[in-house]
């Protein structure tokens, strides 16, 4: 079985890639450069593919589309990245409208050309209501559009749709996935800031999974024990 | 009403743009550069937007994705463009798998950012079974994916879905659409070759519509009268 995996270099897609490889799949990993501020994740993606070995990895450059997008904290350096636990208000600024549709359409084009059986991505049960394109109904409609976009049948797989991030970390630990190489922080510094929404989620997932967090956080990041005591509010 | 129009600079989307403007819409025209060999259509798109006046026009560069696509005659100069009337066999080489999904996803991203009411494209009844992503079922599924991709509701419009190219030419003539500036030829020369699949379709549509064809064809192009007599086979 041959699959294109939408691979950001983040925690979820790293575990997804490790899982599919462990199942004996031929995986083609696609990282999309959409002008994101946290470009560090692209370097992480390369390192993870090298660590997993034998994976064809491509970085698709969609940076030329950035002018089409509105102001948001992921692609526009003049918008602040929200700190603290995800809340609708805090994270609204990180929505890139229509991003997932574009990521999936790009991955589908490659998967069609490579005659893959499936296209897999790491949408999971923990994804937030603030991201409309993480909804199950969106994925169902997109799966149907992809299935009809070519004569060659291509399935859209979401193996983590019933899992939360804690379960994904547990799976990653069991698979010995190179989670230490993955990148989550939206701030895109040299180290994880340890206090933005994605960093807090990452830290919480490792803590709840009972798996040692291999991430190196910035020296001024709040301590995990303190965060846990405060209900993961920095 | 505000709409993004997928605008190739071809005949169908030129008439579509003219129609929506005549209806009083605010139109944002999006031309996608996907590394097509017939890049001449991008220049046509610019000229048409200037002729129609007051249209915001953007060219989205997806050329960086060309390596993801397989061999096809539209983006790969080493593959010959088929001549003659469309047949499944002849035109199979012009299929860019997943192209329409990518075009629509790109246009949707801009439409979301601009808070448009709709996204319109010129899929029509004459589009061929060889292009799976011209099917009505594909468009329906994509419409649903787009509707669910953001909290902001965005409709996918296909005003020409019940029309054939002859009807589109008639509408264009009635609207005085600048069809003379539009570009169809897949060969991408300085003039329309007059003999590739899209040229033949264009010529046939003008002839059947009883509208004078304003296109300048290459000097060695077969004569329209002869083509018509031969059932549009060059």
pLDDT of residue B160: 92
CB neighbours of residue B23 within 10 Å: 11
Q: What is the pTM of this model?
A: 0.85
Q: How far from chain centre, in Å, is Cα B5?
A: 11
Residue in chain A lying closest to B61 (CA): A64
pLDDT of residue A165: 94
Nearest CB to B148; choose among A65, A106, A132: A132
What six digits make up the tokens of B56?
């915001």
A81-90, A122-131, B31-40, B66-75: which has the minimum mean pLDDT? Answer: A81-90
CB neighbours of residue B42 within 10 Å: 16
- Mean pLDDT value of segment B12-35: 93
* pLDDT > 50? residue A90: no
Q: How far apart are CA A81 and CA B211, in angstroms?
A: 57
One-letter-per-residue 3-state SS of A156-204: EECCCCCCCHHHHHHHHHHCCCCHHHCCCCCCCCCCECCCEHHHHHHHH
* pLDDT > 90? residue B176: yes
What six digits make up the tokens of B47?
């000229």
pLDDT of residue A126: 65
Cβ-Cβ pairs closer than 8 A, A with B, add up to 150
Nearest CB to A68; choose among B58, B63, B68: B58
Q: How far apart are CA A205 and CA B50, in angstroms?
A: 54
A37-41, A57-61, B190-194, B206-210: which has the minimum mean pLDDT? Answer: A37-41
pLDDT of residue A74: 45
CB neighbours of residue A80 within 10 Å: 9
Task: Kindly report the backbone phi and psi dihedral angles of residue A203, in degrees, each rounded to the nearest multiple of 5, phi listed first.
Answer: -65, -40
What six digits make up the tokens of A23?
């199942």
* pLDDT > 60? residue B129: no
pLDDT of residue A73: 45
- Do the beta carbons of residue A37 and residue A188 sit within 8 Å? yes
Q: How far apart are CA B96 and CA A159, in angstroms?
A: 28
| Residues A59-75: tens digit of each pLDDT | 988 888 877 876 554 45
In the predicted model, what is the mean pLDDT of chain A? 85
B134-143, B168-177, B217-226: which has the minimum mean pLDDT? Answer: B134-143
pLDDT of residue B90: 47
pLDDT of residue B30: 96
**What beta strand segments (E) does chain A contain?**
2-6, 26-33, 56-61, 118-120, 155-157
Residues of chain A positioned with their CB less than 8 A from the CB of B149: 97-98, 100-101, 132-133, 138
**pLDDT-derived band at A39, boundaries 50, 70, 90:** confident
**pLDDT-derived band at B73, boundaries 50, 70, 90:** very low
The dihedral region occupied by B8, where left means phi > 0, alpha psi between -120 and 50, and beta the remainder, is alpha
pLDDT of residue A38: 62
| Residues B29-70: tens digit of each pLDDT | 999 887 766 677 888 999 999 999 879 999 988 888 877 876
pLDDT of residue B233: 80
Q: Which residues pair with A31 in a beta bridge?
A: A59
* pLDDT > 70? residue A44: yes
Q: Do A132 and B145 touch (CB under 8 A)?
A: no
| Chain B residues in contact with chain A using a Cβ-Cβ cutoff of 8 Å | 30, 58, 60-65, 67-70, 96-102, 104-106, 108-114, 132-133, 135, 137-138, 141-142, 144-152
Residue in chain B lying closest to A107 (CA): B68
pLDDT of residue B165: 94
State the fold for domain B2-229. Answer: Rossmann fold (3.40.50)
What's domain A2-79+97-183's superfamily in CATH? HUPs (3.40.50.620)
Q: Do B105 and A104 touch (CB under 8 A)?
A: yes
Residues 6+ apart with CB under 8 A from A221: A192, A193, A194, A195, A199
B13-17, B69-73, B132-136, B149-153: which has the minimum mean pLDDT? Answer: B69-73
* pLDDT > 60? residue B79: no
Residue in chain B lying closest to A133 (CA): B149
Q: How far from chain centre, in Å, is Cα B151?
A: 29
Residue in chain A lying closest to B137 (CA): A148
Higher-pLDDT residue of A56, B186: A56
How far does A13 lie from chain B, in Å, by closest CA? Answer: 20
Q: How far apart are CA A78 and CA A82, in angstroms?
A: 12
Q: Indicate the pairing of strand A2-6 with strand A26-33.
A: parallel
Residues 6+ apart with CB under 8 A from A234: A83, A84, A85, A194, A195, A200, A222, A227
- Mean pLDDT value of segment B158-175: 94
How far does A228 lie from chain B, in Å, by closest CA? Answer: 32
Q: How far apart are CA A176 and CA A178, in angstroms?
A: 6
Q: Do B150 and A97 touch (CB under 8 A)?
A: yes
Share of chain A above pLDDT 90, in %: 56
Parse chain A into domains and list their residue ranges: 2-79+97-183
pLDDT of residue B189: 81
Higher-pLDDT residue of A98, A18: A18
Q: Do A68 and B62 touch (CB under 8 A)?
A: no
- Mean pLDDT value of segment B81-99: 57
Residue in chain A lying closest to B139 (CA): A145
- Do the beta carbons of residue A118 and residue A107 sit within 8 Å? no
CB neighbours of residue A19 within 10 Å: 22
| Residues A170-203: tens digit of each pLDDT | 999 999 999 999 999 888 788 999 998 889 999 9
DSSP classification of residue B138: H
Residues of chain B positioned with their CB less than 8 A from the CB of A142: 141, 145
* pLDDT > 50? residue B200: yes
Closest to B25 (Cα-Cα) out of B4, B44, B46, B47: B4
Burial class (CB in 10 A: 0-12, 13-18, 19+), B210: exposed
Q: Do A105 and B109 touch (CB under 8 A)?
A: no
Residues 6+ apart with CB under 8 A from A194: A185, A203, A217, A218, A221, A222, A234
| Residues B110-119: tens digit of each pLDDT | 999 999 999 9
pLDDT of residue B74: 46
Q: Indicate the pairing of strand A118-120 with strand A26-33.
A: unpaired
A40-44, B26-30, B56-60: which has the minimum mean pLDDT? Answer: A40-44
Closest to B119 (Cα-Cα) out of B137, B146, B148: B146
Task: Kindly report the backbone phi and psi dihedral angles of residue A144, in degrees, each rounded to the nearest multiple of 5, phi listed first.
Answer: -70, -40
How far does A223 lie from chain B, in Å, by closest CA? Answer: 36
Residues 6+ apart with CB under 8 A from A233: A84, A85, A227
Q: How far apart are CA B94 and CA B104, in angstroms?
A: 19
**What beta strand segments (E) does chain B contain?**
2-6, 26-33, 56-61, 118-120, 155-157
- Site from B32, B98, B121 to mutate, A interface, most A CB atoms within 10 angstroms: B98
How far does B24 lie from chain A, in Å, by closest CA? Answer: 23
Distances (CA, A) of A233 to A79, A167, A194: 22, 21, 11
- Site from B95, B110, B149 to mutate, A interface, most A CB atoms within 10 angstroms: B149
- Mean pLDDT value of segment A90-111: 78
- Mean pLDDT value of segment A103-123: 93
Nearest CB to A101; choose among B64, B137, B146: B146
- Between the two ends of chain A, the Cα-to-Cα distance in Å is 44
Q: Do B69 and A145 touch (CB under 8 A)?
A: no
């Amino acid at each position: 079985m041959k699959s294109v995996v939408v691979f950001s270099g983040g925690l979820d897609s790293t575990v997804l890639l490790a899982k599919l490889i462990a199942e004996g799949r031929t995986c083609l990993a696609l990282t999309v450069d959409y002008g994101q501020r946290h470009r560090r994740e692209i370097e992480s993606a390369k390192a993870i593919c090298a660590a997993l070995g034998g994976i064809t990895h491509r970085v698709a450059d969609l940076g030329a589309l950035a002018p089409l997008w509105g102001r948001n904290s992921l692609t526009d350096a003049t918008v602040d990245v929200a700190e603290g636990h995800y809340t609708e208000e805090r994270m609204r600024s990180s929505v890139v409208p229509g991003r997932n549709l574009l990521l999936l359409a790009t991955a589908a084009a490659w998967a069609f050309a490579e005659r893959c059986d499936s296209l897999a991505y790491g949408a999971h049960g923990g994804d937030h209501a603030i991201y409309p394109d993480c909804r199950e109904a969106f994925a169902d409609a997109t799966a149907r559009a992809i299935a009809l976009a070519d004569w060659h049948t291509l399935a859209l797989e979401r193996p983590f749709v019933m899992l939360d991030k804690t379960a994904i970390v547990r799976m990653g630990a069991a698979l010995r996935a190179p989670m230490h190489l993955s990148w989550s922080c939206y701030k895109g510094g040299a180290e994880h800031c340890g206090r933005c929404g994605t960093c807090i989620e990452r830290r919480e997932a490792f803590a709840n999974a009972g798996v040692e967090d291999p991430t190196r956080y910035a020296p001024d990041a709040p301590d995990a024990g303190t965060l846990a005591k405060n209900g993961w509010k920095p």
